[in-house]
Structure 1
Amino acid sequence: MSGTPGIDVPDSRGRTGLDRVGRDLTGNPDVVVRDVELLASGWHVLRRTTLDRRRRDGRWVTEQRETYDRGNGATLLLYDLERRSVLLTRQFRYPVYVNGHPDGLLLETAAGLLDDDAPEVAVRREAEEELGVSVGELEHVFDVFMSPGSVTERLHFYAAPYRPADRTGTGGGLEEEGEDIEVVELPFDQALAMVDDGRIADAKTVMLLQWAALRGPFRA
């Protein structure tokens, strides 16, 4: 079969038309998309878009932007208000390891891609898989574009209380997906101190811990 995987024939994940994304954008009259090239689609999708943009001084310029599309995601801070603790994960992240992190093992809030689920469904799924916790009522915190210069992902942030009795499994992630996740319970004040000294360096986790201290369950 002739053709280009991801464009007119299915790629390894069965996708086609990946070069069409962005061509029909009309929300900003000062931006006109001229062309979209598919650069890679091994798992997530890398595109190069050529666009005309009207600057604030009225001049039109032609620009190219590469965007990495990995889908949208959701993350969750689980907290025990009575014991003043939070439940996090620790796992190896090669991108941070290759960019100067001492061992690549990051402390993080549970998180994952939506995979066509609603954010609330996805974040409950991730809490079950990664932390072994059945989550009750969720609080929506905010939605954030995490790296808007190049990554399209919008991350949905949530928080929820938990108690030891809510632990329905050991967590650790899905072995068939190669996950190897350690469940880590920390006193909240210790977690905040680890943000200050750099031992917690994951953006979503820092944001949720600071929210919890300023406006969330541990605010003064």
Structure 2
Amino acid sequence: MRLSAELKAFEGRLGHHFAKPELLMRAVTHASIGTATRPDNQRLEFLGDRVLGLVMAEALLTADTGAREGQLAPRFNALVRKESCAAVAREIGLGDVLKLGRSEMLTGGRRKEALLGDAMEAVIAAAYLDAGFEAARAMVLRLWGDRIAGVETDARDPKTALQEWAQARGMPPPSYIEAARSGPDHQPLFTVAVQVETGETAEAQAGSKRIAEQQAAKALLARLERPST
């Protein structure tokens, strides 16, 4: 099998050239267009999730030999969660080469967080099956790059941290309100506001309500913890 020019360019961005190009083709084939003769990436996605997990667990143990399990777990979760996989997928233009069915194409499938995250996991599995664990490991570490070194900040869940801030001061939990929703049904944009008992508020916008809540909590927490001058 010969890859298209588009997929060859993607290989370059990925940093792994496939000896078995059919594996890459399968990794970028969504279930919406898969057939008996053109398998989709769902099984690869299952495997890639485990390969990514092993790479990140090993990397975290190596980076901080004195960290306890309770410290490592949130860092690990931050690195392997779907949002992180989708962010890497966007950086390398994975959405541009996905093979999608018409319905997914029409509903913005190339930009969907879950779809991009799943496809990134499938690509990791494809590299693992193509050249083994060391090759997959090298590719993942290269693509995740600075995320691993900066994971301590990302690992802190903003909603949990904001709730702990409020509880430590004898306040009720923060309240979240969906202030607005815009955009088409297949690509909504949520505006969420968060408020604590002191009256301090913050807003954020995102393509999902959960992410908007996280971003609003992060913004408010940064403001609340800013040293007074």
TM-score above 0.5: no
- Larger strand percent: 1
What TM bracket, shorter-length normalisation? under 0.3
Give the TM-score taking structure 2 as reference length. Answer: 0.23
- Larger helix percent: 2
